[in-house]
Amino acid sequence: MKKSLYDQLFELSKTIKTLTSIEYLLDWDQETLMPSHAIDFRAQQKALMAGHIHKLKTSSKFSHLLNQLIDLESGKVLDPSLSPAQNAALREWRRDHLQAIKLPASFVKTFTSTCSMAGNTWIEAKKTSNFSHFAPSLTKVFQLSRKKADLLGYQDHPYDALLDLFEPGMTVAKLTPLFDRLKTALTTLVKTIKSQPQIDTTCLKGEFNSELQIQFGKKILKAMGFTPEDSRLDLSVHPFCMPLHPLDTRMTTRTHHDDILSNIFSVIHEGGHGLYNKGLPLEQFGSPLGEQSSLGIDESQSRWWETRIGRTKPFWTHFLPLLQKDFPQLKNIQLDPFYLSINKVSPSFIRVEADEVTYSLHVILRFEIEKALLEGSLKIEDIPTVWNQKMQDYLGITPSTDAEGCLQDVHWGFGLVGYFPTYVLGNLYAAQFFHAFEKAHPDWQNRISQGELGFIREWLRTNIHQYGRQYTPEELVQRISGKSPHESDYVNYLNSKYKEVYGF
C-alpha cells in the first residue's frame, strides 16, 4: 500500500531528525569524552554531518512533498483530511524549510566547523582566563552570525532573525520593554534584600567528594523519573542536556569540592530539560509534534524543577535526610537554616549558580551585549570592559577575571547567538505555568515532602510535553495560564517568597 504524502514527508523528516541526533551525539562526546587533539577532525565530522542534514532539509524531494500538503507561500493547508495536530506539524515544517533554504550549504558547513573549533578554543581560554585567546574565534562567530541574520532576513533588527530560531515570534521590540520592566523590578528587590540582615550560610561549608556528589545527583534524577536505561549523567566544563531521543537523554553536571549545591541544582536543572525530552510523544519522533515548542518553553521546564521545586522547603523535607546520610558532615543542619541558606540572595559572578532574584539580570546583560555586537555598536575586544561595567551597574560586583566574567558561558563559542533571552522567558513562562499547577494540585507541597515527584512530571507531560510544537510558545502559555506571556506572575512570586525568606 502506497504511503500518504504526509507519511512520506514524516519518514523523510524522521531521517533528518535521526541524523541530527547523531550530530548531537558528536557534540556530547566533544564535551565529555573526546581527546582534545581530536578537535580538528571533530570539526570536519560535524561540518560534514551539518551539510548533509541541510541538504536533506532543502532537497527538492522535501520541498515537493511539503508543497503538495501546504502552500509554501501562503501557509494554507491543502489536504482537508488532516487533523489539527497534523496541520500544526505542516505549519512548523514549512517554517523550518523556509528558514533552511535561505542558508547556502557552504555557509552551514562553515558555520558549524567554525563554531566547533571556537567551542574548543573557549575551553582553553576559560582555563587560562584569557579572553584575548578567545577573541579571534569569537569575532568569526559573530561575523557569521550577522551573515546568518542577513541571509534569514529581518524587518527591524538583525537580532530578530537569530532570536526567532530559538523563540519563534519573539523580537527585540517585544523583549526590550519587557526586560527593562523586569530589570527595574529585580534591581529594586535586590537593593531591598541587601538592606536586610544577611543569611548565614556557614552551615553549608565543607569538603565534598566529587563521586559521592554525582551519586546523589543520580538519586534525585531517579526520583524525577530517570533510569540508567534511558539516560546518562556525566561531567563537563559547562552543564547541559543533550536530547538525542525520548529514550536517550544525555545530561552533564560539574562538581566543586567545597560547594555541594552547585552540582545538586545543576542536576535538577538539566533533569528538567531531560524530562521534557522524555515526555515528548515517542511515535512523533521526527515530526515537529515530537520536538520542544521552543527553547523558552524548554527552559521553563528546567527552571521550574530547579527553582519552583528544588529550592522549596517541602522538597528538602524529604531530601535533606538523604543528603545528610551521604554526607555526614552536614548531619547537624536543621531544615529551616538549610532552606534559608539555599535561598540566600547574594549577587555573584557565575550565572548558572546565581540565586533566583539575580539570575535574570545575568541574562539581560548578555542580551544587551549580543544585540550591540550584532548591530555593530560594540566591538569584540571591548566585551570584558562592558561586561564588567554592566555587572557593576546591575549586580554591584565586578569580576576579577575573565573566567568569572565574560568567559563563563559556552554559548557564544558554539554559535548560539540569540539563545540567552530564552533563559529569562523560561522563568516567566514557568511562573505562569506554576500558577495553573497550584490550582490543579493544592496539596503539592505535602506530596513533595513525602518524596512524591511523579505527579509533577505527569502534569507537565499532560499540559506541555505531549504537544511538542503543536502550539506556538505564546499559544501554549495562553492555553495553560489564560494569559499572554508577561512578567507579573514571576515578579510577584519573587517578591512574595523573598519577603518571607528575609522577613521584610
* CATH value at residue 464: 1.10.1370.30
- Report helix, strand or coil for 286: coil
Q: Is residue 181 part of a domain?
A: yes
d(CA 165, CA 148): 11
Q: Is residue 116 part of a domain?
A: no
Confidence bin at 2 (pLDDT 50/70/90): confident
pLDDT of residue 481: 97
| DSSP letter (8 states) at residue 240 | -
Q: Is residue 304 part of a domain?
A: yes
Q: Is residue 267 part of a domain?
A: yes
Q: Is residue 268 part of a domain?
A: yes
pLDDT of residue 353: 85
Query: For the segment 37-83, what is each residue's pLDDT rounded down to a tens digit?
Result: 999 999 999 999 999 999 999 999 999 999 999 999 999 999 999 99
Query: Which of 84, 87, 104, 106 minimizes the C-alpha distance to 95?
Result: 87
Residues forming a β-bridge with 77 = 70
Q: Is residue 178 part of a domain?
A: yes
Q: Residue 471: pLDDT above 90?
A: yes
Instruction: Read off the C-alpha cell for 216.
Output: 546523589
What's the mean per-residue pLDDT of the chain? 96
Residue 3 CB neighbour total at 10 angstroms: 10
Q: Is residue 406 part of a domain?
A: yes
- Segment 312-332 shows an average pLDDT of 97
Residues marked as catalytic? 270
Confidence bin at 480 (pLDDT 50/70/90): very high
State which residues form the domain around 206.
172-502
DSSP class per residue in 388-456: HHHHHHHHS---SSSTTTTTS-STTTTT-TT-THHHHHHHHHHHHHHHHHHHH-TTHHHHHHTT--HHH
pLDDT of residue 10: 98
pLDDT of residue 1: 76
- Segment 82-88 shows an average pLDDT of 98
- Segment 482-490 shows an average pLDDT of 96
Q: Is residue 390 part of a domain?
A: yes
Alpha carbon 436 to its chain's center? 22
The total of structural domains in the chain comes to 1
Query: For the segment 106-137, what is each residue's pLDDT rounded down to a tens digit?
Result: 999 999 999 999 998 999 999 999 999 999 99
Confidence bin at 315 (pLDDT 50/70/90): very high
Q: Which residues have CB under 8 Å from 465's CB, separation 6+? A: 275, 276, 278, 279, 280
The better pLDDT of the pair 1, 494 is held by 494
pLDDT of residue 352: 85
